[in-house]
Amino acid sequence: MEDLFEAVAKVNQILKRSRKTLVLTGAGASTESGIPDYRSKGTGLWQKFDPMEKASITALLTNPEEFYRFNLPRWSKYIQAEPNVTHRALARLEENGLIYGVITQNIDGLHQKAGSKRVWEVHGHLRTCHCLECGTSYPFTELIGQFNQGINPPNCPQCRGILRPDVVLFEDPMSQDYYSALEEMKDCETLMVVGSSLQVYPVAELPRLAPKLIIINKEPTPWDFKAIIVVHEQAGKFFEKFI
């Protein structure tokens, strides 16, 4: 593991020399915005609950009322969150041409709020939802509005089918953004992983495709052995040096 100040200097030099750098962000990039990490040891949500019972396609179809009772209040808070130092630093690095874009496992939209232009949301997002019956798309606020009025599960104003958020649930296929990210990785020279435990597949395989790998994550990951720089620290503490 690198000393923080030395690591910042080394990463800065690597970014300046790299032909194409992509950043892969996970939950650890957003915890300082008040969004919890789902997989932290002891405190992560999926340490306490079975995600297949709470956030899967099966959960939505078999017990939609419980699906929304469990997920929607938390998701509603996510869309009110504000970017933190990590999001702002990455937006600045893209603006300055030091990174090409961000591949994110997060659904909170905070990279875009911070000003990032190229963002691949491999697990979907909380901007829209759609009807499982007729496919009509609505703003995510349609879900929130109905839920707050006591309508659970929220339903399609046109056909009364159940609405679902445009996030990648357990048992869902991966989003088109994931396949676009795979294409971008083909000529990526450096992948910088930020705040991801690299345990969720298939995204956790992306480091395999990178000639150079940098990892900034609070806890060790399965790919630390390959990285040329490893920093076990909160993302914000590292990226405040880039602001």
Split at pLDDT 50, 70, 90, the class of 5 is: confident
Looking at the chain, list the stretches that DSSP marks H as alpha helix, in order from N- to C-terminal side.
4-17, 45-48, 51-54, 57-62, 64-78, 85-95, 110-114, 141-148, 176-185, 235-239
The pTM score is 0.93
Please name which of 152, 145, 173, 140 lies closest in space to residue 57, comparing C-alpha atoms: 173
Split at pLDDT 50, 70, 90, the class of 232 is: very high
Question: Could you confirm whether 125 is annotated as catalytic?
Answer: no
Per-residue pLDDT of 20-33, as tens digits, reads: 999 999 999 999 99
Binding-site sequence positions for Zn(2+): 131, 134, 156, 159
Q: Where in the chain is the domain with CATH 3.40.50.1220?
A: 1-35+84-123+173-243
Q: What's the whole-number mean pLDDT along residues 201-215?
A: 96
**pLDDT at position 238 over 60:** yes
Length of the chain: 243
Q: Where in the chain is the domain with CATH 3.30.1600.10?
A: 42-80+125-167
Binding-site sequence positions: 131, 134, 156, 159
Give, in degrees to the nearest 5, the angle at Cα 240 between 102 and 33.
65
Q: Class of 42-80+125-167 per CATH? A: alpha beta
pLDDT value of position 243 = 62
pLDDT value of position 210 = 96
Set 87, 111, 123, 125: catalytic member: 123
Split at pLDDT 50, 70, 90, the class of 241 is: confident
Q: Class of 1-35+84-123+173-243 per CATH? A: alpha beta
